[in-house]
Amino acid sequence: MRRALLLGNEARRRTGPNPWVGCVLLRDGAVVGEGASAAPGGPHAEVVALRAAGDRSRGATAVVTLEPCSHHGRTPPCADALVDAGVGRVVAALDDPDPKVAGSGFARLRQAGIDVEIGVGADEATAALAPYLHHRRTGRASCVVKTATSLDGRVGAADGSSRWITGARARADAHELRALSQAIVVGAGTAIADSPELTVRDAEPPPRPPLRVLLDGRGRVPATGPLFDAALAPTLVCTTDAAAPGAVEAWGSAGAKVAVLPAAPCGVDLVAVLELLGSEGVLQAMVEGGPTLHGALLRAGLIDRIVAYVAPSVLGATAVPMFGDWTSRTLREAARLEIVDVRRLGDDMRVELEVC
């Protein structure tokens, strides 16, 4: 199962909106085939492993990180492929919460007389497939906030300058995070201040560039600069009825897709944004907005994970805080986070946290 999880994780940047699944076929104590999911439209992990094993699939045990699918999509059902290959046993880490599967894959296998065991490596698979599982259970894109901060939690100096708080290795790692996401989200303030590209540059790019998403409820951001260069990547602007018609028309003329969503005190309704991204097949949305957007997401309880790159510097009380004006009056009201990973990257630390 550890090998299957590794295979799945290595395929992650190419599979969205499908899950990154790994499969290992065992017979007589030896690996006879293995594989991972291809890009959408290509074979799933089970089929790749079965092709590698050939006739040795008969009577083998298939170890797979997620329940085999049972429906016809772009490819035939994997459960049928396992049955047709004569596999004798299937060991899976997790049930697939996708309503199109939801236990029917296991039912198909058992109906054919195949022994099924569920739960081996479940914790590891749950962590590895977290964005996919969240998307299928809620319909919303999983929200991962990325921030670069000083030791005292400041993302910009008192004069507003923020490039670069962290070093080159931390910035390269952030591009790896972009490559694993299907969308990169910024607010209007960040777009105006930084004129960002929001593309994958210092990492192996995915087959399709992540969707660039601008949240601008009032039409503040002009339709110019790299964010509106369609040759780099597609752009979606989420706005509200408060935006001037001229701004909406300019965004569309520049080649961006524009979605008018409900308004909220922070600008655009953030639940509606994540639901829209989910409907567009975005499993993981990486938010690189400024402190105002990050604070609004924290206040709304919409952050699933935070990746903080922490520099060994102190910027002081008048510098820009990581979560804007978000505050808790007491320790009891504090946002609770769980550290899931800590790594050193050059002079900086990468701290990954889940919101409890």
Residue numbers annotated as active site: 46
Is there a contact between 349 and 151 (Cβ–Cβ < 8 Å)? Answer: no
- What size, in residues, is the chain? 356
CA-CA distances (angstroms) from residue 239 to 143, 164, 257, 350? Answer: 19, 29, 11, 33
Angle CA 323–263–247, to nearest 5: 100
Burial class (CB in 10 A: 0-12, 13-18, 19+), 116: middle
E strands present in the chain: 22-27, 30-36, 61-64, 89-92, 115-118, 142-149, 154-156, 183-187, 211-215, 235-239, 257-260, 263-264, 267-268, 284-287, 305-310, 320-321, 337-345, 348-355
Q: Tell me the sheet residues that pair with 125.
A: none
